[in-house]
A = this chain, B = another copy of it.
Amino acid sequence: MNNFNYYTPTKVVFGKDTVDKAGELVKSFGGTRVLIHYGGKSALESGLIDRVKASLDAAGIFHVELGGVVPNPHLSKVYEGIELAKENGVDFLLPVGGGSVIDSAKAIAYALYEPDEDVWDLYDHTRQSKGSYPLGAILTIAAAGSEMSDSSVITNEKTGEKRGYNSDLCRAKFAIMDPSLTVTLPDYQTMSGAVDIMMHTMERYFTHGYVPDITDEIAEGLLRTVMKHAKILHEDPSNYESRAEIMWASSISHNGLTGCGHQGSDWSSHRLEHEMGGMFDVTHGAGLAAVWPSWARYVYKEVPERFAKFAVKVMEANPDEFSSQEELAVKGIELTEEFFHSIDMPTNMKELGIEPTEEQILEMADGCARATGGSVGCAKVLYQEDMAEIYRMAR
């Protein structure tokens, strides 16, 4: 087993009506002046923001608010949040939303700690953060896992660059997770979320060398759980238990647990999708579904034993029906595509609704190579020409 660190300080408060604990939780972590950060109108119209404000008022906590965060959250909104927070002496960030809203709040939290620096430097990887203002999350979309992860991803909408920054400094102090808040999500969002959750574990799963049994057991169990309950929600969106299973899986899938003690995670599919998201503004999980099968076919021969194990333990292929590990590996990829189709997710870019030209493919490959310092991947290290080829396969 490889040495590893595991650090998940986020206090999870999970279940029905936990939103009403927002005020006391902010207070218990020392917050006195809060920026409530959110996305579209649904958070307002559903009464959720009013409920959050009532909880803060009851705890005697000052608050201002900033909505309008979009999927693939924009740097300009981050800058707007920084200014508003400074003007109001904000000392605690309270995102109410999914990964985009939480990531936007994380960027604001970094910026407030170092007010004389440009926060984009972090995402452009020209500087490391020295600290972050505290943040608590109220989750309304199970997908990104940002509520427990060390990650945030921001899009510079002027340049089309979508970039991530990872640091323990931005881990949320608390996460309020009420699955019933996700019941009104459109099916496409819910299923995209399920794919995103799966991919956070799958990016860690396909690696070289010794993978601890305990890490594999957790990863495989999590993937089986998400697939089972995504299928249930595709038929019955109001199923609370399935909403809860998927919401809790979203946090575990990206808090580090499913990658403990192995040699390294891959993240190629995420990096490839980031460029698609930067150029075409696609839904992240659906974008991952569209690129993963091509990535998998491009790399599986490097770690056939991992793909074969995935086929058996996660996709329930019968190993006795295959004469080689490689055949079994391919079957696992095919079964993953079948699963994606069964929940109306794409398996290529055309099904996703985008048709990049060769020029755009070269541009995405160039962007991906620049964003990754020239290469990415663990199962197989990908360079710019590999990236372009996977984009072509995924057309």
Contact = CB atoms under 8 A, between A and B. Distances in A.
A370 interface: no
A179 B4 CA distance: 12
A261 B3 contact: no
Interface stretch (A6-14, A95-103, A353-361): A6-14
A114 interface: no
A224 B228 contact: no
Contacts of A222: 214, 217-218
A248 interface: yes
Please tell me the size bucket of the interface on A: 35 or more
Contact of A249 (B2, B7, B13, B214): B214
Contacts of A241: 1, 210, 212
A210 B245 CA distance: 12
Contact of A213 (B2, B7, B214, B225): B225
Nearest to A16: B3
A39 to B, nearest CB: 25
Given A252-B214, A260-B248, A12 B1 contact: no
Contact of A214 (B9, B210, B225): B225
A220 interface: yes
Nearest to A226: B214
A258 to B, nearest CB: 10
Interface in A1-35: 1-9, 11-16, 18
Given A212-B244, A214-B252, 15 more contacts: A1-B179, A2-B15, A3-B14, A5-B13, A6-B11, A9-B9, A15-B261, A210-B241, A212-B245, A213-B245, A214-B222, A217-B220, A218-B218, A248-B261, A257-B257
Interface of A: 1-9, 11-16, 18, 179, 210, 212-214, 217-218, 220-222, 224-225, 228-229, 240-241, 244-245, 248-249, 252, 257, 260-261
Q: Which 6 A-B pairs have the closest CB atoms?
A: A217-B221, A3-B15, A1-B244, A6-B12, A9-B9, A214-B225
